[in-house]
Every structure is written in C-alpha cells, then in structure tokens.
Amino acid sequence: MRNLFFLILLLAFSDAFSQVTNIEARRVKTDTAGWYGEVNTGFKIVKEVGKVFSSNSDMRIQYKTPKDLYLLLSEYNWSRASEKSFTNNFYLHLRYNRKLKRDWIRWEAFTQYQFNEITKIRLRLLNGTGPRYKLLGKELGSVYLGTLYMFEYTQELNQEKDILIKKEHRMSSYLSFSIFPNDILSVISTTYYQPRIDKWKDYRVSNIIDLRAKITKRFSISMLYKLNFDTYPAAGISRLSYSFENKIGLTF
C-alpha cells in the first residue's frame, strides 16, 4: 500500500502542469482513521470557447485522524477542440481540516496550483483559510457551509498574448448537500461563491453535482455535471462554461 501511495503521488507531480475547483465531492465519507486513495479516469464534452472533446484522470489521497483531515487532490485533462488545438489543464490541491472543540465547526486551510490553457490561465496560485460549519449531519445525508478567505495570484494572457498579473483577495464561500441513500449510491451537490473583497461585482459561481455508484468494493462509476460562471474571465473567454463527465474509479 505504501509503495502504491508514492507511485500515484509521483505520477501526479510528473504530469504537465477550471478556474473554480470544487472540493466537496472529492472528500471521502468514512468513519475510520487512516489512509484512503482513489484514481479515476474518463472522458467528457465541454462547452467553453467552443465544443471540446477530452479525456481526463484524477486522484485523491486522504489521511484522517480523530481530529485532523489531510486531503491531496490532482487532476489532469487532455483536450482537442472540434477543429484545432490541443488543450492541457492541471491542478494540484492540498487541504487541511481541523476539528475544534465544538463538533459542528472545523477550521480549514488550503493551497492550490493550477493551469488552464483554454481559459488562458497560465498560472493560478491560491491560498485560503476559514471556518467550516456542519449544519446537518445524519447517516443518510449532511449539509456543510464554508466561509473562507482566499488570496489569488494569477498570470493570464490577453488578446495580444501578453501576460497580465493579478493579485486579488476573495471570499470563497460554499454550501454542500450530500445524500447517501444506501452503501452503494451517493449524490453530492456543491455551490461556490467567490467575490472579490474590494470589488463585489467581480465574482465567480460554480456548481457541481456528483452521482456515484459502487460496482464492487474497489471499483465505482460516477457522473458529474459542472457549471462555472465568471463575471470577468480572461479576454475572449466566455463567462459561462459547463461540462459533463463519466468516470471509472479505483479505490485503494
């Protein structure tokens, strides 16, 4: 198991380095401490600038103790537009979650590196922290609210292909609903709202719906719908984008 962990971690870092990354659907619901890992692969059709056909792979590694949660995520996508161009995008996300004295509140901190060629994001670095509230926690479902501060450093290309550097302070609030009707099925819907603190009309909204079904103890299939809206995207990029994904996952 230890060798498998380091192999997957090495692959995640060796790939070539979405504007809003939804984390809630990637958390693992488990009552036991220790390691958990998962690798997924699949394909999707995306509507951003035009229609894009792509394949994708992602992995998540989680370590849990009675009070702490460490979560490492990465995703790599290869895409070809309908008529031209290849597209590469990648993100690497590390998140820490600490349970406080009261069971309904936790403190989170995260950092993220990402790159998205099709949306002209050459580099985006995120760092954030803030509280996470458990509004409902039942065996069949849960509701969480997060209200985090985030600092964002971005290098994006304008229409002349010059690099523009942006340094922005944002809120990163989210509301997540999870439903677990049985041990096989799960449905998770998360909505993010990320406004600039000094310019509230500059905001992003993101929603993801993740429907997952276990085939065996180790294998699962999932369908995801993602929707992103950005009031101030890079020059020439649509404010609205969406994607449908189908994936097959391996748990270790």
Give strand ranges (E) for the chain. Answer: 34-47, 51-64, 68-81, 86-99, 105-116, 121-138, 141-157, 163-179, 185-196, 199-214, 219-230, 240-251
DSSP conformation letters of 145-175: EEEEEEEEEEEEE-TT--EEEEEEEEEEEEE
Q: What is the pLDDT of residue 1?
A: 44
Flag residues of the chain having pLDDT under 50.
1-19
Name the DSSP class of 28. -
What does the longest C-alpha to C-alpha distance in the chain come to? 56
pLDDT at 78 (0 to 100): 75
The whole-number pLDDT of residue 83 equals: 63
Beta-carbon contacts of residue 240 (< 8 Å; ≥ 6 apart): 227, 228, 229
Whole-number Å distance between alpha carbons of 206 and 191:
6
User: Mind listing the domains of the chain with CATH numbers?
Assistant: 2-251 (2.40.160.40)
Residue 76 bridge partners (DSSP): 57, 90
Q: What is the pLDDT of residue 191?
A: 95
Classify residue 67 as exposed, middle or buried by CB count within 10 Å of its CB (0-12, 13-18, 19+): exposed
Check: pTM over 0.95? Answer yes or no: no
